[in-house]
């Protein structure tokens, strides 16, 4: 089908692509466009920001997690209801896994989805040299997919001076410029942690940025570039499910989701989820029921499983600890055998205790032994592939799933049910506490990299229900 689409990418991080993507989405939204937004890579924060602040549905697309064909399917599935899809790249355009491959790079996603790329170039300290930079990026691969450029942090005068040179030397149009917009800058803390007061302020900033971009970018040319994208085809998503779910799809649908309810922690403290993970649980017959460990006094009724994802529990340690009735209810349900998955912040919450950012220790749910403590530095950051060292709820010994880690905390009891290895690297470590009805650790699992894991979790919940 016809899916108009573009990607905003950049030569390097810090070029302004996130800010410009937000402003462009708002500007296109103001023109009445029905949008879908996508973030290249494993970052669950930018899609959360796009959805919460801009009101634009947003998903991750990551070829390390899902390969070429499934990535195409996830894109097509989520973009088909929109009349224009906007992808935001990650890091530098060609920067992939391990820093020396194209795997999971913005370029690979553009190649997989056959999407034209608008290169956002920060002009600070540069003028004519920008043409050489653009030429280099266009010549790096036989098909670069670069179809236009936006000059960031420059003046209209300089943009007009360079426009014919770039057109002549590089063969692509300059689609506009962005002046310095210090009053519209989005700070890193805003991307994931948005209070109601911050939300109003951010929406005002982005609306102001959208007004500026409406004047400085050629929005009609950007829309034409998106509409020139070739027709898009993809494999139905159901074909990536475990075989028995493909063969018994009617039966799975007949298993009323109302009889299998998985509680999902979701509030200011727990907000990091891959939406495709939740969708997969629903496709496998589960209903996701949201609850708040911060604000609710107890779990929702009639649950057969629990999912507690990542987020910022360390910023709410006092409130989480003081909500004793919720901690007690979770502990009692899990002790009685309810299956659960806990990742990163959720893993920390289930500990006996957890430190906050000031290293004050607070009692937590007490499901798992140990203390979660602040290290002051980013640990075990990046992609990992997990290999099971023993049979447990999610899989059998030797089975694998891909994941991502990003945390400034550690645990005195990380577990040893899996062995994590860095792609293209020799580094590895043991992780995750797991058993017949649970798995808990720092890695954020991406279920579609091995849907069997999600299916096994759902089946554990069914056994508990029975």
Read off φ and ψ for residue 297, nearest 5 degrees: -85, -25
Q: For the beta carbon of residue 391, count every other beta carbon within 10 angstroms.
A: 14
Is the distance from CB of 230 to CB of 259 less than 8 angstroms? no
Q: Show the tokens assigned to 414.
A: 């990380």
Pairing of strands 5-9, 84-88: parallel
Rounded to whole angstroms, how far apart are CA atoms 455 and 243? 11
Query: Tokens 């801009």 — which residue?
Result: 54
Q: What is the DSSP letter of 168?
A: H
Rounded to whole angstroms, how far apart are CA atoms 407 and 403? 13
Query: Tokens 């530095």 — which residue?
Result: 377
Is the distance from CB of 302 to CB of 261 less than 8 angstroms? yes
Read off φ and ψ for residue 113, nearest 5 degrees: -100, 0
Question: How many residues make up the chain in this entry?
Answer: 466
Residues 6+ apart with CB under 8 A from 67: none
Outline where 217-340 has alpha helix (H): 219-227, 243-247, 249-254, 275-283, 317-322, 324-335
Give me the active site residues, please: 344
Rounded to whole angstroms, how far apart are CA atoms 306 and 344? 14
Is the distance from CB of 331 to CB of 367 less than 8 angstroms? yes
Is the distance from CB of 258 to CB of 239 less than 8 angstroms? no
Tell me the sheet residues that pair with 402: 385
**Residue 432, SS3 per DSSP:** coil
CA angle 197, 37, 442 (to 5 degrees): 70
CA angle 22, 24, 28 (to 5 degrees): 120
Q: Show the tokens assigned to 365.
A: 């749910």
Task: Please give the radius of gyration of the chain, using alpha carbons only, rounded to the nearest integer.
Answer: 23
**241 HSE (CA, 13 A, CB side):** 21
Query: Tokens 């403290």 — which residue?
Result: 269
């Amino acid at each position: 089908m016809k899916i108009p689409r573009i990607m905003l990418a950049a030569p390097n991080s810090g070029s302004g692509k996130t800010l410009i993507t937000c402003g462009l989405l708002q500007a296109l939204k103001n023109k009445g466009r029905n949008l879908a937004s996508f973030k290249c890579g494993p970052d669950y924060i930018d899609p959360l920001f796009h959805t919460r602040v801009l009101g634009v549905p947003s998903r991750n697309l990551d070829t390390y997690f899902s390969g070429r064909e499934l990535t195409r399917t996830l894109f097509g599935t989520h973009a088909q209801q929109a009349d224009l899809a906007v992808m935001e790249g990650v890091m530098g355009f060609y920067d992939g896994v391990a820093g020396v491959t194209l795997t999971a790079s913005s370029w690979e996603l553009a190649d997989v989805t056959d999407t034209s790329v608008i290169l956002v170039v920060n002009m600070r300290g540069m003028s004519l040299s920008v043409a050489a930079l653009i030429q280099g990026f266009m010549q790096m691969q036989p098909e670069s997919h670069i179809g236009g450029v936006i000059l960031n942090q420059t003046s209209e005068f300089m943009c007009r001076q360079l426009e014919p040179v770039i057109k002549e030397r590089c063969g692509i149009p300059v689609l506009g410029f962005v002046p310095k917009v210090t009053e519209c800058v989005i700070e890193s803390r805003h991307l994931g942690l948005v209070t109601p007061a911050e939300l109003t302020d951010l929406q005002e900033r982005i609306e102001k940025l959208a007004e500026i971009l409406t004047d400085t970018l050629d929005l009609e040319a950007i829309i034409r570039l998106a509409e020139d994208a070739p027709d898009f085809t993809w494999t139905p998503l159901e074909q990536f499910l475990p075989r028995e779910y493909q063969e018994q799809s009617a039966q799975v649908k007949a298993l009323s989701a109302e009889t299998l309810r998985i509680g999902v922690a979701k509030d200011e403290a727990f907000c990091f989820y891959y939406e495709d993970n939740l969708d997969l649980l629903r496709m496998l017959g589960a209903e996701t029921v949201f609850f708040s460990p911060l604000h609710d006094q107890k779990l929702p009724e009639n649950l057969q499983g629990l999912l507690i994802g990542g987020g910022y529990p360390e910023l709410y340690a006092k409130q989480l600890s003081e909500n004793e009735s919720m901690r007690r209810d979770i502990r009692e349900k899990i002790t009685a055998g309810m299956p659960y998955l806990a990742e990163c912040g959720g893993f920390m919450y289930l500990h006996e205790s957890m430190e906050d950012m000031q290293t004050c220790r607070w009692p937590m749910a007490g499901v798992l032994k140990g203390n979660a403590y602040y290290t002051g530095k980013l640990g075990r950051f990046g992609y990992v592939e997990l290999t099971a060292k023993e049979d447990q709820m999610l899989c059998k010994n030797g089975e694998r799933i891909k994941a991502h880690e990003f945390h400034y905390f550690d645990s005195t009891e990380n577990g040893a049910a899996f062995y994590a290895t860095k792609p293209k690297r020799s580094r590895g470590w043991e992780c995750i506490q797991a058993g017949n009805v649970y798995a808990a650790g720092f890695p954020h699992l991406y279920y579609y990299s091995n849907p069997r894991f999600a299916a096994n979790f759902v089946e554990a919940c069914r056994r508990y229900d029975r």
